[in-house]
Amino acid sequence: MDTSLVENKTIAIIGGTGNEGKGLAYRWAKSGMSVIIGSRTLEKAQKAVEEIAQMSKEKAFSLSAMENMEAAASADIIVLTVPYKVHATMIQTIAPHCIGKIVVDVTVPLNPPKVTKVYVPDAGSAAQEAQIILGDEVSVVAAFQNVSFEHLLSDNEINCDVLVSGKGKISRSVVIQLVELAGMIGWDAGPIENSVVVEGLTSILIGINKENGVKSSGIRISGIPGKSVL
């Protein structure tokens, strides 16, 4: 597995006390990455760190807890796992600490209660909204929207792939390496405009889950030989 683009990088997960954030933190920390859990309060971040560390006592995790602003300032790569209703506000808050960095946006623009119906924001997608707010000095990449936290918070093999779309081929390559470190196959899904499709798939998967009485359906890309997670 090629990890050359993410070696010695620190990841901050903003909104990392939720299930998706904790799942990604667990997967990356288990792989040896240095991870910061960010939250509005230090106490909530510290509690999340304790919960993640207790999941596996066999490894010495590099996990720390900080408030969101400090976490963003301290990281090389910023991952945003917040509900859409606070998406724009959170981005505006951490924006000064995102300059020159990759921001991985995991947010899905759901519109409760119609969460099985694809909702398209005015900007086109949550990732595009983030890119507009943050400006050209930041590379926003959409990823992980279609992976259930139940998969991330386990040690089992994850039987689904991750579509990665965003600003710049190199930035997408960085995030694909993060996908592989989390135990999945990542696919370059093209420019940030394509994130509307990636985000929209989440509503479709929620509907499939409800229809079939499950919680963690996902997607697989087929027909391409030789691609696997080592």
pLDDT category of residue 54 using cuts at 50, 70 and 90: confident
In a domain, 202, yes or no: yes
- Range 16-25 average pLDDT: 94
Quick one: which of 214, 165, 209 has its CA closest to 191?
165
* Cβ-Cβ contacts under 8 Å for 133 (sequence gap 6 or more): 88, 91, 92, 95
pLDDT category of residue 226 using cuts at 50, 70 and 90: confident
Per-residue pLDDT reduced to its tens digit, 180-217:
999 999 999 999 999 999 999 999 999 999 999 998 89
In a domain, 49, yes or no: yes
What percent of the chain shows pLDDT beyond 70?
97
Residue 133: what pLDDT? 98
Looking up tokens 């759901």 gives 110
Supply 7's token pair: 């070696």
In a domain, 221, yes or no: no
In a domain, 104, yes or no: yes
In CATH, what number is assigned to the domain containing residue 55? Answer: 3.40.50.720
In a domain, 103, yes or no: yes
In a domain, 217, yes or no: no
Overall number of domains in the chain? 1
Q: Which domain holds residue 178?
A: 10-212
In order, the DSSP letters of the chain are ---TTTTT-EEEEETTTSHHHHHHHHHHHHTT-EEEEEESSHHHHHHHHHHHHHH-SSS--EEEEEEHHHHHHH-SEEEE---GGGHHHHHHHHGGGTTTSEEEE------TT-TTS----TTSSHHHHHHHHH-TTSEEEE--TTS-HHHHTSSS-----EEEEES-HHHHHHHHHHHHHTTS-EEE--SGGGHHHHHHHHHHHHHHHHHHT-S-------S-TT----
In a domain, 150, yes or no: yes
Residue 60: what pLDDT? 63
- Range 121-129 average pLDDT: 97
pLDDT for 63 beyond 60: yes
Per-residue pLDDT reduced to its tens digit, 141-154:
999 999 999 999 98
In a domain, 158, yes or no: yes
Cα separation, 227 vs 230, in Å, equals 9
